[in-house]
Structure 1
Amino acid sequence: MREDILTTELQKVSSESQRRELYSMDWLDDKDKIIEGAFAECYLKMHPMICIHGILFTIDGIVSDESGIKNDIYSMVRPYVTSGLARKVEQLLQTIKLEAYSEPLPLQTDRIRVANGTLFLNGEFSEQKDFCLNRLPVIYDLDVEKPARWLKFMEELLNPDDILTLQEYMGYMLLPTTKAQKMMLIIGKGGEGKSRIGLVLRELFGNNMYSCSLQKIEVDKFARANLEYMLITVDDDMKLEALPQTNHIKSIVTLEDQIDLERKGQQSFQGVVYARLIAFGNGGLHALYDKTDGFYRRQLILTTKDKVDGREDDPYLIDKLRKERDGIFLWALEGLQRLVSNNYVFTESVDAKQNLVDAQEEGNNILAFMKSEGYLQFEIGKKISSTDFYNIYVSWCEDNLEKPRASAGFLHYIKENQKRYGLIYDAKCIGNRRGFHNVCKAEFTPVTGKTPFD
């Protein structure tokens, strides 16, 4: 494969002076016109790369910014191009990509590529560096000091059990896998410092991290192509508006195969997306129409501690945390090891589990209605028509200042979850009227307000 050839070539070319020795003017003809194929070959000898799906990769991973390459090309060809220089630079860049073409590299989930080599999950470490999809800008060093300021920051921000969950999730993001099938939301009232986590993630992941709103990922058909080969996607200011749809986010969180991606002006293609989603905000993530368990069970929701009165914020906190980058990496690695040993099941605190229940009820008031008292009576043998069932729900919404869902959405949810509540849907429940068995309208006693069955 071309990447093997280029890796061998790169190992031979260890210094900038040696790189320059490879440089020749063979890419100019006798009239000083550029021979594009020869130019591309020459450039790749100086700067070994491979190209997958139009994206360039070096031994340091993905090339997310091509401006440096364009500047190199510009410097090399400027004396020989009298007009259309910018167009020629773009043209040569595309030729380089064609010359560097490679089949997709395999996803390897048994190792983490770091700045000083390759770390295997079994504990082995090699200084060998080869072409890869992702390389982290961290140094693997077991002798590095513990990240004391980071650990203190965690204690100030989260409850102890939730710290374990975040540690595991940060470890989870080190590998190109979606086995855990979860996204993470960290929610607070504001001012707690949760956005500092996003800045620390940038230090750990470098250009393997993409910043984008969840709303844009869901509704913008071009945004999802930017996630290709990214390890993580961070939304550092999650909007409170409900998502108009959720199918794209759900598929990204659980994706174990290729997905259709599209870039502007290009034909759509089947690409690889394993970017884990993490978002920070002041409220949960909800959907306008998707009220299913499938949308919520993909979420890990952590809530921050309230900001302590009189706390003085440290304006240099992020600078201190950046200095602990390599130690924070080891801390995240510890979380990854725990997650893998637990078969990719996260540690979830009682609070985190309750956060999910609360989010579901906030996003779908039918859940709260079905748990309420004084409106419904559940008893084998009882019956209720679909119309009466919905009217009782509307009455509950009016009493609790809630906005009722449309009747079709309400009845669809009850039918989909009838086993959960011990109900049986019947198209001819009462005469020829549709309805449900084992439930009826509650009967209030005039004194206590309770049903006769309480």
Structure 2
Amino acid sequence: MFEAILMRINRRNVESELERWPKRMASSSFEQSSDYVFDNTAAITRLTETGLSQADIDAVETGKDVQPDNRSESLYGIVIRMIMLGLNNETIITHLTNKDNYLGRVALSRRNNNISSARQWLWSQVVSKAQQVAAKQTRDIHDSFDYIDESAEEKTSKPNQYVLTNAVIQKLGEDNLVFANGSFWRWDAEYGVWASVSDQSVKQIIQTVIPKLQITKSIVDNVLSVTKTMVHKEKHRFNQLNDGINTLNGTIRFIDNRWILTPHEKTEYRTSVIPVEYDPTAEAPRCMQFEREVFRDDPDIDDKIFLLRQAMGYTLLSSTPYPSFFIFEGSGANGKSVCLDLIRALCGTENVSAVQMNQMANRFQRAQMNGKLANLVSELPEGGRLPDAEIKSDSSGELTTVENKGRDPFEIIPFYTMFFATNHLPHTRDLSPALQRRARIIRFNRTFSSGEQDPHLIEKLKGELPGILNQALEALKHLFTDGAFVEPQSSKDAKKDWLLQSDQVTQFVNESCVLNVDGRVSVDTLYRTYRMWATDSGFKSLVTKKTFTQRLVISGVGSTKSGSVRYYSGVQIDPGDLLDDDDDDDFIDDESFT
């Protein structure tokens, strides 16, 4: 086991040394190294034959995962690990002064590409000093080895926490544990996903590494702390390679206008996998029946079914190429709740959040949507207002900062798709084209009687998930090729109605005013009339006088001034809505209305 742990010393094991390296380079604590003299020991010509991990080989040859401003530190850490593996000096120096290797160019660049000078610099400034660090680590391993030997008797001296940590990492496998964004993440090869792991679970693993010791809380906590440091990835982002859909038996990718199943890749750092195996031959007859039942009486039934399928396919992506959010609108018992349940089943419960729209600006609540495929809101309060800013930014995948309670804030790129199911369309203060482009409204017009309802429907549909996935993939394929969602006529009409309903000023002008080139009315009088109209109409959130004026200008209304009085021109109040002179003056003067 000792040899295995010795081989397992990796880049994370020398982080503390790397932090001190710049000072140690100039420190007298290092013995002065003499000039390097070739000792006729042959170098191992292929790095793959040296015992280095694939991650280290990639770093040396291509610079993978090496930050440009940390090349020297990476070089130093790899030299230590090469020494710990027992590689001779000529092997180390040959590969790390090879101009074809990414890290080989560090020494060369410091010595103007003079190979002889570069070899001497690498020996004196890196290798000889790394040997002393490696020697100390080797002594530490020998001193503590008995504490991870299951056959050894219990010892009385303190075990080395770094060695125990390496044993924990070895037990989990090469690069299978990451600490990022305040949490542990562990690679699950069976499902092809990185799963969040609690500190308690890691502590349990720590205890299995040293079963015959009298475990103390202090030892376990210390090893846990060191483990966090050793596997920490600063500002690491998961799901960066966001093409394709992760399923139980592989990742489906859209290549050459068709879906292809590819193996799971650990280095893609995906945190979600849908609970479905991809079977291109699967069908979903009961789901097809359900869709036609829901939209039975609609003239654009085929387009509505296709948009619903596109929505389901789109939410499976861990990217946001076509910024959108969906509103399922209609009175009860019409199928929209079943559709949300079906989306939840297809995505997987663990990949779905349910943050309510009045909580979407809360940084703690927003953290719940990190890594989710969908956010499902099953019912909106009447008169509720959309979180316009969050919808626009999140549906576009804009970088945002969130926070888990008791932990440091961190940045995420959201990719969830937002779904609202409601009996009443929500209000919005943002009537910009950007929000309008994102809105996809599907009206559910049919009401199912109690005799028509199937209480076991969702379970039947769950049995057809592979076929439902195929339907969603086919619709998603058309989204990719067409570059836009299909828009049924009923959805266009619903969006117009929704925007008109949200635009109080336009409604007010249509109902209580007359547009007339010769018309004129004072700003205070017209705004006062609007306030009374809006209150009587049941609006809870009224626009300010500034916004009121901006909306009127869009409608073609101008403004003039006569003396100290400001007027709107080109509009007049409908005679039937004129206010009496003795209307409540306190209402007019209320400062909250300005």
Calculate the TM-score normalised by the size of structure 1.
0.78
Q: For 2:306 and 2:386, how far apart are their aligned partners in 1?
A: 33
Q: Deviations over 1:100-144 (max 9, x none)?
A: 444435633432232222222122524422123233332222112
Q: 2:239·2:318 contact (CA, 8 Å) conserved in 1? A: no
The correspondence of residues 209-224 of structure 1 with structure 2, limited to 5 A, is 209-215=351-357, 217-224=359-366
Question: Would the alpha carbon gap of residues 384 and 120 (structure 1) be closer, same or farther in structure 2, given more than 3 Å must change?
Answer: same
- State the Cα distance separating 1:366 from its structure 2 match: 2.6
- State the Cα distance separating 1:326 from its structure 2 match: 0.8
Aligned identity (percent) is 21
Question: Would the alpha carbon gap of residues 415 and 332 (structure 1) be closer, same or farther in structure 2, given more than 3 Å must change?
Answer: same
Q: For 2:246 and 2:54, how far apart are their aligned partners in 1?
A: 17
Partner residue in 2 for 1:143: 281
Task: Verify: 1:189 aligned to 2:328, yes or no.
Answer: no
* Pick aligned residue for 2:168 from 24, 36, 40: 40
Question: Would the alpha carbon gap of residues 79 and 314 (structure 1) be closer, same or farther in structure 2, given more than 3 Å must change?
Answer: farther
SS class of match (1:312): coil
Q: 1:181·1:254 contact (CA, 8 Å) conserved in 2? A: yes
Counterpart of 1:431, as a letter, is: G
Partner residue in 2 for 1:285: 426
Partner residue in 1 for 2:395: 253
Partner residue in 2 for 1:53: 181
- State the Cα distance separating 1:378 from its structure 2 match: 1.5
Counterpart of 1:279, as a letter, is: F
Q: For 1:237 and 1:77, how far apart are their aligned partners in 2?
A: 51
Q: 2:326·2:418 contact (CA, 8 Å) conserved in 1? A: yes
Q: 1:187·1:284 contact (CA, 8 Å) conserved in 2? A: yes
Partner residue in 2 for 1:19: none
Partner residue in 1 for 2:4: none
Task: Verify: 1:313 aligned to 2:450, yes or no.
Answer: no
SS class of match (1:156): helix
- State the Cα distance separating 1:305 from its structure 2 match: 2.9
Q: For 1:114 and 1:371, how far apart are their aligned partners in 2?
A: 52
Question: Would the alpha carbon gap of residues 414 and 42 (structure 1) be closer, same or farther in structure 2, given more than 3 Å must change?
Answer: same
Q: For 1:178 and 1:54, how far apart are their aligned partners in 2?
A: 25
Partner residue in 2 for 1:416: 550
- State the Cα distance separating 1:390 from its structure 2 match: 1.6
Q: Which consecutive residues of structure 1, in runs of 5 or more, have no partner in the other structure?
A: 9-23, 445-454
Partner residue in 1 for 2:523: 386
SS class of match (2:360): helix
Deviates more, 1:43-52 or 1:110-119: 43-52
* Pick aligned residue for 1:271 from 412, 420, 428: 412
Q: For 2:455 and 2:221, how far apart are their aligned partners in 1?
A: 42
The correspondence of residues 219-238 of structure 1 with structure 2, limited to 5 A, is 219-238=361-380
Q: For 2:210 and 2:382, how far apart are their aligned partners in 1?
A: 50
Q: 2:246·2:274 contact (CA, 8 Å) conserved in 1? A: yes
Counterpart of 1:434, as a letter, is: R
- State the Cα distance separating 1:235 from its structure 2 match: 2.0
Deviates more, 1:66-75 or 1:180-189: 66-75
- State the Cα distance separating 1:245 from its structure 2 match: 5.5
Partner residue in 2 for 1:18: none
- State the Cα distance separating 1:70 from its structure 2 match: 6.0
Q: 2:376·2:420 contact (CA, 8 Å) conserved in 1? A: yes
Question: Would the alpha carbon gap of residues 389 and 332 (structure 1) be closer, same or farther in structure 2, given more than 3 Å must change?
Answer: same
Matched residues, number:
415
Question: Would the alpha carbon gap of residues 173 and 245 (structure 1) be closer, same or farther in structure 2, given more than 3 Å must change?
Answer: closer
Q: 1:393·1:404 contact (CA, 8 Å) conserved in 2? A: no
Partner residue in 2 for 1:125: 260
The correspondence of residues 91-102 of structure 1 with structure 2, limited to 5 A, is 95-102=226-233
Q: Kindly report structure 1 stretches of 4+ aligned residues shifted beyond 6 Å.
A: 1-4, 87-91
- State the Cα distance separating 1:310 from its structure 2 match: 5.1
Q: For 1:259 and 1:277, how far apart are their aligned partners in 2?
A: 16
Q: 1:208·1:229 contact (CA, 8 Å) conserved in 2? A: no
- State the Cα distance separating 1:171 from its structure 2 match: 1.4
* Pick aligned residue for 2:468 from 328, 340, 344: 328
* Pick aligned residue for 1:341 from 478, 481, 489: 481
Question: Would the alpha carbon gap of residues 307 and 341 (structure 1) be closer, same or farther in structure 2, given more than 3 Å must change?
Answer: same
SS class of match (2:348): helix
Q: For 1:370 and 1:76, how far apart are their aligned partners in 2?
A: 75
SS class of match (1:227): coil
SS class of match (2:347): helix
Partner residue in 2 for 1:110: 243
* Pick aligned residue for 1:376 from 502, 513, 520: 513
* Pick aligned residue for 1:303 from 429, 443, 459: 443
SS class of match (1:153): helix
Q: 1:213·1:238 contact (CA, 8 Å) conserved in 2? A: no
Q: Deviations over 1:186-219 (max 9, x none)?
A: 1232233422223322332226622223235424
- State the Cα distance separating 1:91 from its structure 2 match: 6.4
CA-based RMSD: 3.6
Counterpart of 1:369, as a letter, is: F
The correspondence of residues 9-28 of structure 1 with structure 2, limited to 5 A, is 27=148
Partner residue in 1 for 2:312: 170
Counterpart of 1:262, as a letter, is: E
* Pick aligned residue for 1:206 from 348, 352, 358: 348
Question: Would the alpha carbon gap of residues 367 and 235 (structure 1) be closer, same or farther in structure 2, given more than 3 Å must change?
Answer: same
Q: 2:353·2:368 contact (CA, 8 Å) conserved in 1? A: no
Q: For 1:148 and 1:244, how far apart are their aligned partners in 2?
A: 36
- State the Cα distance separating 1:234 from its structure 2 match: 1.7
Counterpart of 2:528, as a letter, is: N
Partner residue in 2 for 1:452: none
Counterpart of 1:191, as a letter, is: A
Q: For 1:253 and 1:265, how far apart are their aligned partners in 2?
A: 27
Q: 1:217·1:249 contact (CA, 8 Å) conserved in 2? A: no
Q: 2:516·2:571 contact (CA, 8 Å) conserved in 1? A: yes
Q: Which consecutive residues of structure 2, in runs of 5 or more, have no partner in the other structure?
A: 1-10, 13-52, 59-144, 577-594
- State the Cα distance separating 1:291 from its structure 2 match: 5.0
Counterpart of 2:265, as a letter, is: D
Q: 2:353·2:369 contact (CA, 8 Å) conserved in 1? A: no
Deviates more, 1:60-69 or 1:347-356: 60-69
Q: 2:337·2:378 contact (CA, 8 Å) conserved in 1? A: yes
Partner residue in 1 for 2:571: 439
Question: Would the alpha carbon gap of residues 326 and 403 (structure 1) be closer, same or farther in structure 2, given more than 3 Å must change?
Answer: closer
Question: Would the alpha carbon gap of residues 34 and 224 (structure 1) be closer, same or farther in structure 2, given more than 3 Å must change?
Answer: farther
Q: 1:218·1:248 contact (CA, 8 Å) conserved in 2? A: yes
Question: Would the alpha carbon gap of residues 357 and 152 (structure 1) be closer, same or farther in structure 2, given more than 3 Å must change?
Answer: same
Higher helix fraction (1 or 2): 2
Q: For 1:358 and 1:403, how far apart are their aligned partners in 2?
A: 16
Partner residue in 1 for 2:74: none
Partner residue in 2 for 1:447: none
From the CA coordinates, give the structure whose radius of gyration is larger: 2
**Bigger relative CO (Cα 8 Å, ≥ 6 apart):** 1
Q: Deviations over 1:26-57 (max 9, x none)?
A: 74695585734223322331893444424515
Question: Would the alpha carbon gap of residues 440 and 111 (structure 1) be closer, same or farther in structure 2, given more than 3 Å must change?
Answer: same
